Chain A
């Protein structure tokens, strides 16, 4: 799947991806070595493990202007750190609910498992999210979040 031809001035979303070093980051590397093309709107932030991903990061990303957020790590059971992603999963379940109550459309936040060998899947996940976010339009409510949920730098 490739970038749809863009018309001038079309809204181009910004997507931040929080990924673990061992699986998804490496999966994205593989997409690169395999030269599988995808849309450039995504920026990866590498963390050792999805267990390190604090829900605050996600809110922060929206606050700082992201229109969509991807969180991706090793498949359950494949975690480099045994159980890190298990804890992450539990946290996300809670977090998703919280986001919904804050009025963030769940289309803007995507959790997925991408292993080091799933380069193709990585590009699909990314394209899919970017398309969804593009359809949803720019994310505007961050100001509201900013007011209601003060996050310290």
Chain B
């Protein structure tokens, strides 16, 4: 199986390990990821909050490149990229006028707008059985808090792959990996992603609440599928500790790392050693 790949900026920098583990697990699952040639940043939050047309054009350029490469489906592991690209794709499909305008700007027609999927959808697609089949050592009985963050399952109309209030798709995947998902309250609460640098105080507060709920419900680990969430929840734990004395560390893993571990890949192969809060797996 071949599928287009849009790593996005984070996966080439702050979230290298995410990129590494996505590629590794895909390889084991027999999926060939074809990176979009010369892709550009989707503009993340900064573009759409200042200029709608800028945001739309940045995404559209990527969609154009992908369609020229003949890619019908694109994997965007970053939830923010996924959200931007799919919202833009939707707008281009629904508003022919906007599409025309953007095409004029880009100087080319987008012949076929590819479908954007996220990592959860990819793993769902490959199928549970296959995963178990490939499974090496499991993350047996690890109590896991699956964190979706805000953009993976919203808005509800667009990302119909899961319920936007009570999503369960990640839970299903980690269950197959042998872990025990917990029921908790903050799985779709926002961590403040975009404000990480300019309003660190907000991000620290929000991330603290999220991690505290996970801890109270006895989670051993938090799983996420978004590099921004990961940065806030992993790297910011130091700041959280500074502000909230009682905070206890909790490791935060990418979904791909977790799946990789249960396939028997090593921490190094998956880049887990790059995290700020170390993860000592009970079973690996």
Q: Do chains A and B touch in the complex (CB under 8 A)?
A: no
Q: B interface vs A, CB < 8 Å?
A: none
